[in-house]
Amino acid sequence: MTRELFWLTLTVILTGLLWIPYMVNRCQVRGLSGAMANPSRNDKPQAEWANRLMFAHDNAVESLIIFAPLVLILNLIDYSTNWTVYACAVCFWARVAHVIVYTVGLPVFRTLAFTIGFLAQAVLALAIFRVF
């Protein structure tokens, strides 16, 4: 496994686990049967942190749609540099930071974390064209 694929794997695992805490909160608020029922306008609202975590999870999925193909293309063309490895690591840690600051409710830091992850993805895109 390449180092880029390692960071992609960690990012996929992180994204795949993010739903668990907000679903636990949904079960606490609405009960197990309420959590499994179809959504309704009359549902009890979840905790604000759980709502923010759900939005962070949505954003992580959207980001993964860009990040994963970039890493897979680099793997396919057998191109790896220190820049691509660092960019993948930065993408992962930016995603971790984004989830934390979004869930806690720190809007400016959320935007910074997102932007750092985006710039790391830009490095990967440029690397495909051998700029890095």
Q: Which domain holds residue 111?
A: 3-38+46-128
Q: Residues near 63 by Cβ (< 8 Å), separated by ≥ 6?
A: 91, 95, 117, 121
Write the CATH number for 86: 1.20.120.550
- Whether the per-residue pLDDT at 99 is higher than 90: the answer is yes
Selected residue with higher pLDDT from 131 and 91: 91
Average pLDDT over the chain, rounded to whole?
Answer: 96
Stretch (H or E) spanning 67:
helix 48-76
Count the neighbouring beta carbons within 10 Å of the beta carbon of residue 66: 15
Token couple for 62 = 């959207």
The total number of structural domains in the chain stands at 1
The CA angle 34-39-45, to the nearest 5 degrees, is 70
Q: Could you give the percent of the chain with pLDDT greater than 70?
A: 100
The per-residue pLDDT for range 4-45, each reduced to its tens digit, is 999 999 999 999 999 999 999 999 999 999 999 998 999 999
| Phi and psi torsions of 126, nearest 5° | -65, -35
Q: What per-residue confidence (pLDDT) applies to 75?
A: 98
Question: Model confidence at 131, in pLDDT bands (50, 70, 90)?
Answer: confident
Distance CA 76, CA 88 (A): 16
Q: What per-residue confidence (pLDDT) applies to 24?
A: 97
Estimate to the nearest angstrom the gap between the alpha carbon of 26 and the chain centroid.
21
Token couple for 55 = 């939005």
Question: Model confidence at 72, in pLDDT bands (50, 70, 90)?
Answer: very high
